[in-house]
Amino acid sequence: MRYTSEAVERAILELSRLPSIGRKTAQRLVMYLLKRPREDVARLAEALLALKDAVRFCRICYNVTDEDPCPICTSPRRDRSLICVVEEPNDVLAIERTHEYRGLYHVLGGLISPLAGVGPDELKIRELIARIQESASRGEPVQEVILALNPTTEGDATAYYLARLLNPMGVRVSRIARGIPIGGELEFADEATLLRALEGRVTLS
C-alpha cells in the first residue's frame, strides 16, 4: 500500500535503505518527522549533510574524525607501542568507554569473509603492516598488537590471518579474552565486560 504523497513515499524509501530499518519502521519515522517543527527537520538534514561533508577517515588509523590525523593518533598521552585492531569505528567508541585503554587503534573496515566476497585486500591490513614497519624505522617500535575482533567465524579467521603476518615481525600479538559471548559484538558489550576482556587477553602464536 502506497501513500498518496510522493514526498512521503520517497522519504520512506530512503529511510528503509538504512540498516535494520524496514518499511514499517521507516513509515513511523516519517510520520514522526511530519509532526515535528520544520526547524527540527532542517537541523536533522543539516547534520546528515555535515556528516558527509565534514567527517573523514583518519589516514593513520582509519577511525572516523573531523581532523586528519585524528585526536587519538596525535595525542602525546597515548602509548605508541600498543595498537588495538578493531573491525569498525563503533568498536573504538566501545573500548574508549572503558577509560582504561591508553594505546592507539587501527580500524580494519570489516572482517575476512570469503562467503561475502571480502578478502584481506579489501581491509586495511596492508596499511597496518606498513604502519608497524614505519614505527620501527622511526625507532618507536610497536611492542604489541591487540586483536579486539568479534568472536565470530569471520573474527576468528581474521585474527589468525593477522597473527600469521605479525608474529614474524617480532610483535606480540594478543586477542581479547572471551569475556565477549560467542557471536557477540563489541559495540554492544558493557564497559566492565570489555575491560575484563582486554585485561585477560591471550597471546596468539
Q: What DSSP character marks residue 123?
A: T
pTM, whole model, 2 decimals?
0.77
Amino acid at 45: A
Name the pLDDT band for 112 (thresholds 50, 70, 90): very high
- Angle at CA 77, nearest 5°, toward 135 and 93? 90
Main-chain dihedrals φ then ψ at residue 114, nearest 5 degrees: -55, -35
Cβ 101 vs Cβ 144: under 8 Å: no
Contacts of 128 (CB under 8 A, 6+ apart): 83, 85, 106, 108, 145, 162
- By residue count, the chain amounts to 205
Residue bearing cell 514526498: 7
How confident is the model over 149-155, as a mean pLDDT? 89
Asked if the model's pLDDT at residue 182 lies above 70, the reply is no
**DSSP helix/strand/coil, 162:** helix
Distance CA 26, CA 24 (A): 5
Cβ neighbours, 10 Å, residue 151: 20
Residue bearing cell 502506497: 2
pLDDT at 178: 60
Q: What percent of the chain has pLDDT over 70?
A: 88
Name the pLDDT band for 177 (thresholds 50, 70, 90): low
Name the pLDDT band for 205 (thresholds 50, 70, 90): low
pLDDT per residue as tens digits for the range 32-43: 999 999 999 999
How confident is the model over 47-51, as a mean pLDDT? 93
Beta strands in the chain (DSSP E): 56-57, 64-65, 79-86, 103-107, 144-147, 172-175, 202-203
Residue bearing cell 537541523: 43
Asked if the model's pLDDT at residue 110 lies above 60, the reply is yes
Distance CA 15, CA 35 (A): 17
CATH topology of domain 64-203: Dna Topoisomerase Vi A Subunit; Chain: A, domain 2 (3.40.1360)
pLDDT at 196: 65
How confident is the model over 96-102, as a mean pLDDT? 92
Which of 3.30.420.250, 3.30.460.80, 1.10.8.420, 2.40.30.10 is the CATH number of 6-54?
A: 1.10.8.420
**DSSP helix/strand/coil, 118:** strand
Asked if the model's pLDDT at residue 29 lies above 70, the reply is yes
Q: What percent of the chain has pLDDT over 90?
A: 75
Give the residue extent of every domain in the chain: 6-54, 64-203
Which sign does the torsion angle of CA 116, 147, 187, 66 carry?
A: negative
